Amino acid sequence: VAMDEYLEGLVAELSKSLAPARGGSAPTLSLRAAPLKAATDRAVSIGVIVTELVTNAVKYAYGPGRAGEIRISLEPTPEPGRAVLVVEDDGPGLGDGKPKGTGLGGQIISGMASGLRTRVEYDPDHAGVRARLAFDL
């Protein structure tokens, strides 16, 4: 799967679903993705992770009707055959670090990352939330 094309389509669909029904504002999604190829199962896992992280940012970083930017990037690492995915926002951050809501999204993210034999790391020094995932293509 061409990851840049796949993520472009995914981000376009997520942007449409975020558009408010009656005017107002919604977070903007921006994508920077290198032309990398991944196996189909890995691409699906990355897609689910991106969807969940973006959904969490919309719900907790900006809230209903609040504008902001959610940035998604996929870049190769210096190590061949590996890539790093970053999803970040400029919201209030994780606060006490405890998940908000039911925690189901976090379980889905962890499960998908585990299937990729990696885990999502959160940057405590970022003003909002920055989730980072390094994985084998």
Cα(103)–Cα(116) distance, integer angstroms = 20
For residue 99, pLDDT over 60 is answered with: no
pLDDT digits (tens, 9 = 90+) for 39-97: 999 999 999 999 999 988 888 887 666 778 999 999 999 999 999 999 999 988 876 65
Number of CB atoms found within 10 A of residue 55's CB: 16
64: exposed, middle or buried (Cβ count in 10 Å: 0-12, 13-18, 19+): exposed
pLDDT confidence band for 98 (50 / 70 / 90): low
Reading the block at residue 103, the tokens are 């925690």
Q: What is the pLDDT of residue 18?
A: 77
Of 63, 64, 48, 61, nearest in space to 14 by CA: 48
- Residue 54 half-sphere exposure, CB side, CA atoms within 13 Å? 28
Give the predicted TM-score (pTM) of the model.
Answer: 0.90
